[in-house]
Amino acid sequence: MNLTTLDHPLAAHLMAGLRDEATEPAVFRRLSRTLATLLVLEATKGIQTKRVAVQTPLASVEQSRLGQGLAVVPILRAGLGLLEAALDMFPDVAVGYVGLERDHESAVASSYYCKLPSLAGKLTLCCDPMLATGGSASQALTILKKNGATDLVMVCVVAAPEGVAVLQANHPDVPIIAAALDVCLNDHKYIVPGLGDYGDRLFGTL
């Protein structure tokens, strides 16, 4: 299985707060941002580096510096909750956006917006907090590949087995980084136990 879930006590603690229905939007955003930091760190473990000479006050030493550009593409709107962590940590980040809206009856996503930077040669993180049916994520990854992305990672907070299976079938070359793998989807295609609608909880549009 091309899925990695975070194995850290802090990640589990943050997930407990995000799942709690009593968590207010302001706290939800703070927890989301901290968890996003852990997810982005895990997702960028494979970013390319280069060796360079650095002059300290005492001597010259060979060190590693980042040798590959990073692109982060959140799927609107919930994916925005994972963006700031990458912007805070990495010195040079290209940002793109893919707008996909899921029909609540059919669970099929339609595209309404796409704005992408150059993705060639960059490690590209596709961010969508809830990997439910996998339809939106798969569609977004297809768009990114058509626009030059060859080194892709899917980053999400909660994944359902159904969504993971779809990505593994359609994009077996793309690793998935998640904070949690949940039980299943319900009849309405929501992740169980999940945490509700991520975008609504993030932006207080309940």
pLDDT of 106: 60
Tens of pLDDT along 144-183?
A: 999 999 999 999 999 999 999 999 999 999 999 999 999 9
Pick the CATH number of 3-203 from 3.40.50.2020, 2.30.110.10, 3.20.20.70, 3.40.50.720: 3.40.50.2020
pLDDT of 40: 97
Mean pLDDT of the chain: 93
pLDDT of 1: 62
**Mean pLDDT calculated for residue range 69-83:** 93
pLDDT of 112: 84
pLDDT of 165: 97
Of the candidates 195, 52, 190, 186, which has an alpha carbon nearest to the alpha carbon of residue 132? Answer: 190
**Mean pLDDT calculated for residue range 56-84:** 94
Tens of pLDDT along 94-128?
A: 999 999 876 666 656 678 889 999 999 999 999 99
* Domain ranges (residues) in the chain: 3-203
* Cα distances (angstroms) measured from residue 119 to each of 80, 180, 197: 19, 28, 29
Give CA–CA dist 205/78, Å, rounded. Answer: 12
Give CA–CA dist 81/104, Å, rounded. Answer: 21
pLDDT of 107: 56
pLDDT of 108: 65
Of the candidates 206, 157, 154, 192, which has an alpha carbon nearest to the alpha carbon of residue 176? Answer: 154
pLDDT of 103: 65
Tens of pLDDT along 33-51?
A: 999 999 999 999 999 999 9
